[in-house]
Amino acid sequence: MSDTPQITDSHCHLDFPDFEGKLDEVISRAVEAGVTRMVTICTKLQNEPKVRSIAEAHAQIFYAAGTHPMSAAEEPLVSVDELVEISHHPKMVGIGESGLDYHYTADSAAVQKQSLRIHIAAAQRTGLPLIIHSRDADDDMARILSEEFRNAPYTCVMHCFSSTASLAKTALDLGFYLSMSGITAFPKSQALRDIFAAAPIERILVETDAPYLAPPPYRGKRNEPAYTAYTARNAAEVFGVSYADFAAQTQSNFDRLFAKAARYKAAA
């Protein structure tokens, strides 16, 4: 196992019912596959204590917290101060996921935009990276990210990026990162692979979004952090580099963006 290149699953949801009572074996399989760190994402602040407890119980796991855009209309609007307070936990390393989703929840666009700006403000105040979910909302997303960046710089990852080349360019021009999920390994995702291939490899992360979006050969089944390795192997081909080199590059990228997690590892 020591010869297996190490990678990080930068976005998963280990508090979801899919993993109830199975976390130890899931984490064991991840480590066996070289996935030595995972960031589990809280999508509703009422679930933050459970997500935090998972990170506290497992050395390999960090967490982030925010309100998912598809929940923005049904959850109490979070405040910047609430997010800043949560960020004081040593293993809380990111703000979100937040963002805009007009695919299923376009009717709540106004509150989604309000929630997004609150999360951006928290990222600006804490220095932690913003974790963005964006679906069918490219124009509004590009405008808001750019407007708020002009107000005060912040760092950001476009999680599970599957949007247009235009939004990718906006994000990259702002210094943000793009994260590759199992979608990039689907046979019909060549256009998306082309967008990534045109991006600087120094701005690329990998993730599962588990339990969703399992890459081949597990497509259609429950995803889990170990499968980050399949996405990363496909991604190495996209960039024309060896798997070991791609793994090392994405580790460096993760450490640069999620500097709090990197410092925690160094201090552990």
Q: What is the mean pLDDT of each run of 10 residues along the chain (268 residues)?
A: 87 97 97 98 97 97 98 96 98 98 97 98 98 98 98 98 98 98 97 98 98 96 98 98 98 98 79
Residue 99 — left, alpha, or beta (φ > 0 → left; ψ -120 to 50 → alpha)? left
The residue type of 32 is E
In this prediction, residue 3 carries a pLDDT of 86
In this prediction, residue 21 carries a pLDDT of 95
The residue type of 3 is D
The closest of 12, 72, 42 to 210, measured between CA atoms, is 12
Tell me the torsion sign for CA atoms 230, 36, 18, 163.
negative
The pTM for the full model equals: 0.97
What is the CB neighbour count within 10 angstroms for residue 158? 26
In this prediction, residue 134 carries a pLDDT of 98
Query: What distance in Å separates the CA atoms of residue 267 and residue 255, rounded to the nearest whole number?
Result: 14
HSE-up (13 A, CA, CB side) for residue 117: 13
In this prediction, residue 32 carries a pLDDT of 97
In this prediction, residue 1 carries a pLDDT of 44
CATH topology for 7-267 is TIM Barrel (3.20.20)
- Does residue 113 contact residue 78 with C-beta atoms inside 8 Å? no
What is the CB neighbour count within 10 angstroms for residue 190? 12
